[in-house]
Amino acid sequence: MLRRSINSIVIIANRNYTNKPCSRFSNMAQIIDGKGIAQDIRSQLAKELKEFVAAGNPTPHLTAVIVGEDPASEKYVANKMTACREVGISSETRRLPASTTQEELLALIDQLNKDNRVNGVLVQLPVPEHINERTICNAVHVDKDVDGFNELNIGRLALDMEGIIPATPLGVKRLLEYTNIETLGRNAVVVGRSKNVSLPMAILLHSDGKYATKALDATVTICHRYTPPKELARHCRQADIIVVAVGKPGLITKDMIKPGACVIDVGINRIKDEKTGKFKLVGDVDFDEVRQVAGHITPVPGGVGPMTVAMLMQNTIQAAKKQHCAKLSARNE
Amino acid sequence: MLRRSINSIVIIANRNYTNKPCSRFSNMAQIIDGKGIAQDIRSQLAKELKEFVAAGNPTPHLTAVIVGEDPASEKYVANKMTACREVGISSETRRLPASTTQEELLALIDQLNKDNRVNGVLVQLPVPEHINERTICNAVHVDKDVDGFNELNIGRLALDMEGIIPATPLGVKRLLEYTNIETLGRNAVVVGRSKNVSLPMAILLHSDGKYATKALDATVTICHRYTPPKELARHCRQADIIVVAVGKPGLITKDMIKPGACVIDVGINRIKDEKTGKFKLVGDVDFDEVRQVAGHITPVPGGVGPMTVAMLMQNTIQAAKKQHCAKLSARNE
């Protein structure tokens, strides 16, 4: 049933992207090096972009918008801007005060939508509570919506059509492809049902690999807050692939893992380390325990996070290319 | 966890919509009388429509389009037109020859989209092979798309937003509500991954009941052609609710059913009855066997089919009301 070729971008597939199990712990899971894979993708994208610009095209441009002063949002956006610089994407961050009205934010988005120099628009979430997040996501032009959160991009993804796919689930898909995790007909469990990560993830996992999204053809179970803990454990134990995106440290424990399963941890939680008293980032998976049973596991940090940023870069370059083609064909008409 | 009130349309919930198990076969599943439930919904809609028209509004109008001469399509559309007459919806069927080009069909859709007298547009599927079905579905105006197949309506459904929901999965949801099948936190399995039935069904089953789609909060597993038969059987045996929409007679057998489960059969297959030599309609479920184990089961015909037609009527009336409100507010601006 080997019918899906790895995406053409994977020109480096013979390099080893999982840390080999240490001989002393030969049962331990291979750690999927998201940071390393993302770095390779970024290098590849930098090359692609250089060629695009060398052919006489304008440098792709991404505008990020932050409303209010959330330190986590500032950090996420700073990471994205750094990645832009590295890849060669021109970028800027527009900062609006927390008191910005929805109408003011919509007016800025409208202006960016109409600005031909801007190829990608990203409104960092969350927005302040007086602003409707969904209205904002839908306001970003479908072709500049590099986050893939617009209702039309979600509809296209659901229908296996070409469109912009949310960066995190797209990044998880790439991780699975890079590490040659078989998905066709395998059992996958998505824990969580958020619209930005879990739902598009479940769609990418179960849909048909022969259409535009090149989805993964797995049997998919979606678990969430109303799934009883016993049932969650049972579904997970049957899974060859688990993607967890909930925001609950330690939710996924060793006893919930089928030996050899691939565990992808999208959670990012800031908790106090009891030993050192310092804050640290952890995922939703009890990493130290689960790695003793799983076949593959992503670390937090250094797993899915860097892939999200890399996929955002990819989405921006693809958006620029599509807009460029549209302009060309309009000129030739 | 009883937190979701049954939809207000269910004013007849104290009537019995399942055939009581016959005393001789007390273990047998209650048969969900889709035909009877659909008839009640249609009566309710007729009343709602009468009030709408009595208030001075124009009679809602549905235009169906058939391209080519498919006897099954003719029959489906005839059923819909009959339902329209019964409910009081004005309707017409536009018949185009099989040789119609995609451009000609798109031109007719565009004309219907712009026609203020038309509230709902339905292109009966399948269309001939030289026409792209997806292009056609996306061409119907989002507010007149009473089938709910437009990319924007699918996106809105996926995002738990208000929109038009495809009639068959919406009908299944109503059947579950009418028969008081508990769904919150229960295991549901959707067999199939079609975009018109299975995907919206999986979304309606797993999504959050507190948003616009009033979804069902179940834990959902999506099985499909690449799910190995053994795994399909295992997933089904764990399910409290099974919805099967594949088109394979006898796919779901007795040994795959958890005692007491609710089995919803969306399949419609025309097969030759070996005893009589005549053709008959059957679903994807081995009805006679499965009813010995299941708690509830829908028959074919007379289960989901009539609900699809009733939900189409509901979608048309809702579309007319929404368009009417939009016109009113435009006039008052």
Give the per-residue SS3 of A150-211.
CHHHHHHHHCCCCCCCCHHHHHHHHHHHHCCCCCCCCEEEEECCCCCCHHHHHHHHHCCCCC
Residues B151 and A152: their CA atoms lie apart, in Å, by 7
H or E, element range at B265: strand B262-265
Residues A170 and B79: their CA atoms lie apart, in Å, by 43
Q: Is A207 on the interface with B (CB under 8 A)?
A: yes
Q: Where in chain B is the domain with CATH 3.40.50.10860?
A: 57-141
Find out whether B158 and A148 touch, Cβ atoms under 8 Å. no
Q: Give residue-wise pLDDT tens across range B6-35.
A: 333 333 344 556 655 444 445 799 999 999
Q: Give residue-wise pLDDT tens across range A25-45.
A: 457 999 999 999 999 999 999
Q: How many helices (H) and strands (E) are present in chain B, helices listed first?
A: 10, 12
Mutation target vs A (from B2, B137, B147, B159; most A CBs, 10 A cutoff): B159
Q: Where in chain A is the domain with CATH 3.40.50.720?
A: 8-32+165-305
Beta strands in B18-136 (DSSP E): 18-19, 30-32, 61-67, 90-96, 120-123
| ipTM metric | 0.92
Q: Is A202 on the interface with B (CB under 8 A)?
A: yes
Residues B215 and A38: their CA atoms lie apart, in Å, by 37
Local structure of B2: helix, strand or coil: coil
Distance of CA B254 to the CA centre of its chain: 25
Residues B69 and B11: their CA atoms lie apart, in Å, by 40
B147: tokens are 């089938």
Answer yes or no: do A158 and B155 touch at CB < 8 A.
yes
Residues B194 and B174: their CA atoms lie apart, in Å, by 20
Closest CA to B293 of B218, B330, B231, B239: B239
Pick the CATH number of B57-141 from 3.40.30.10, 3.40.50.10860, 3.30.360.10, 3.40.50.800: 3.40.50.10860
State residue B134's pLDDT score: 97
Closest CA to A299 of A21, A29, A43: A29
Q: Give residue-wise pLDDT tens across range B86-114.
A: 999 999 999 999 999 999 999 999 999 99
Task: Please report, in angstroms and rounded to a whole number, the separation of the first and last CA atoms in chain A.
Answer: 44
Contacts of A153 in chain B (CB under 8 A): 155
Q: Is B208 on the interface with A (CB under 8 A)?
A: yes
The structure's pTM equals 0.93
Answer yes or no: do B185 and A159 touch at CB < 8 A.
no
Find out whether A165 and A204 touch, Cβ atoms under 8 Å. yes
Residues B323 and B333: their CA atoms lie apart, in Å, by 15
Rounded to a whole number, what is the distance in Å from the CA of B220 to chain A's nearest CA? 5
Residues A192 and A198: their CA atoms lie apart, in Å, by 6
Local structure of A110: helix, strand or coil: helix
Give every residue of chain B whose pLDDT is below 70, as ranges: 1-26, 333
Q: Is A208 on the interface with B (CB under 8 A)?
A: yes
Q: Which of A30, A33, A124, A145 is catalytic?
A: A124
Whether A114 is catalytic: no
State residue B14's pLDDT score: 40
Give every residue of chain A whose pLDDT is below 70, as ranges: 1-26, 333
Answer yes or no: do A193 and B207 touch at CB < 8 A.
yes
State residue B216's pLDDT score: 98
State residue B27's pLDDT score: 77
Quick count: other Cβ atoms within 10 Å of Cβ B130?
10
Q: Is B227 on the interface with A (CB under 8 A)?
A: yes
State residue A9's pLDDT score: 35
Answer yes or no: do B156 and A151 touch at CB < 8 A.
yes
Mutation target vs B (from A140, A156, A193, A197; most B CBs, 10 A cutoff): A193
Closest CA to A193 of A234, A150, A246, A231: A246
Residues B174 and B172: their CA atoms lie apart, in Å, by 5
| Closest-approach residue (CA) in chain B for A148 | B155
Answer yes or no: do B161 and A185 touch at CB < 8 A.
no
Answer yes or no: do B187 and A222 touch at CB < 8 A.
no
Q: Which of B1, B154, B219 sits opposite A222 (nearest CB)?
A: B219
Q: Is B147 on the interface with A (CB under 8 A)?
A: no
Sign of CA dihedral B286, B165, B220, B259: negative
H or E, element range at B237: helix B229-237
Find out whether B60 and B319 touch, Cβ atoms under 8 Å. yes
State residue B185's pLDDT score: 98
The pair phi, psi for residue B242, each rounded to 5°, is -125, 130
Q: What is the DSSP string of A19-78?
A: EPPPGGGTTSPEEE-HHHHHHHHHHHHHHHHHHHHHTTPPPPEEEEEEES--HHHHHHHH
Reported CATH class of domain A8-32+165-305: alpha beta
